[in-house]
Amino acid sequence: VSHLFENYRRADVAFTHGRGVRLWDTAGREYLDFLAGIATSSLGHAHPRLVGAIAEQAGRYLHVSNLYRIPEQERAADRLVAASGGVLDRVFFCNSGTEANEAAIKLARKWGRRQGEDRFEIVAMHGGFHGRTLGALAATGTPAYHRGFEPLPGGFVHVLFDDLEAVRAAVTERTCAVLVEPVQGEGGVFPIGRQVLEGLAELCRERDLLLVLDEVQTAPGRTGSWFAFQHYGVVPDVVCCAKGLGGGVPVGAVLARDEVAAHLRPGEHGSTFGGNALASTAVETVLEVIEEEGLLERVRRSGERLAAGLLKLATSSGRIRAVRGLGLMCAIDLEVEAAVLVSRALHNGLVVGAVRPQTVRILPPLVLTEDEVDEGLARLTRALSEVG
Ligand SMILES: Cc1ncc(COP(=O)(O)O)c(C=O)c1O
The model's pLDDT over 75-87, given as tens digits with 9 standing for 90+, comes to 999 999 999 999 9
Structure pTM?
0.98
Q: Which residues are part of the catalytic machinery?
A: 129, 214, 243
Tell me the per-residue pLDDT of 111-138, one tens digit each, with 9 for 90 and over: 999 999 999 999 999 999 999 999 999 9
Q: Is the CB of 186 under 6 A from ligand 1?
A: yes
Using an 8 Å Cβ cutoff, are 313 and 381 in contact?
A: yes
Side-chain-side CA neighbours of 209 within 13 Å: the count stands at: 30
Tell me the per-residue pLDDT of 51-77, one tens digit each, with 9 for 90 and over: 999 999 999 999 999 999 999 999 999
Q: Is the CB of 130 under 6 A from ligand 1?
A: yes
Beta-bridge partners for 17: 24
Residue 186 has pLDDT above 90, yes or no: yes
Q: Is the CB of 98 under 6 A from ligand 1?
A: yes
43 SS3 class = coil
Residue 36: which pLDDT band, with cuts at 50, 70 and 90? very high
| Per-residue burial over 85-110, b = 16 or more CB atoms within 10 Å of its CB, e = otherwise | eebbbbbbbbbbbbbbbbbbbbbbbb
Going from the Cα of 68 to the center of ligand 1, the distance in angstroms, rounded, reads 29
User: What is the C-alpha separation between 159 and 145, in angstroms, rounded?
Assistant: 17
Residue 260: which pLDDT band, with cuts at 50, 70 and 90? very high
Mean predicted lDDT score pLDDT of the chain: 98
Nearest CA to ligand 1 atom 4: 130
Nearest CA to ligand 1 atom 9: 97
Nearest CA to ligand 1 atom 3: 130
Residue 168 has pLDDT above 90, yes or no: yes
Going from the Cα of 199 to the center of ligand 1, the distance in angstroms, rounded, reads 25
User: Nearest Cα to 362, choosing from 285, 302, 286?
Assistant: 302
User: Nearest Cα to 13, choosing from 364, 350, 366?
Assistant: 350
The reported pLDDT for the residue numbered 1 is 77
Q: Is the CB of 129 under 6 A from ligand 1?
A: yes
Going from the Cα of 9 to the center of ligand 1, the distance in angstroms, rounded, reads 18
User: What is the C-alpha separation between 324 and 300, in angstroms, rounded?
Assistant: 14
Residue 204: which pLDDT band, with cuts at 50, 70 and 90? very high
Instruction: Give every CB contact of residue 182 below 8 A, 6+ residues apart in sequence.
Output: 191, 192, 197, 213, 215, 218, 223, 228, 229, 231, 232
- By most ligand atoms within 8 Å of CB, the mutation choice from 243, 326, 356 for ligand 1 is 243
Q: Is the CB of 242 under 6 A from ligand 1?
A: yes
User: Nearest Cα to 216, choosing from 360, 332, 103, 86?
Assistant: 103
Going from the Cα of 207 to the center of ligand 1, the distance in angstroms, rounded, reads 28
User: What is the C-alpha separation between 40 and 38, in angstroms, rounded?
Assistant: 6
Residue 189: which pLDDT band, with cuts at 50, 70 and 90? very high
Residue 388 has pLDDT above 90, yes or no: no
Please report how the helices 295-317 and 370-386 are oriented relative to each other, as an axis angle in degrees rounded to 10.
Answer: 30
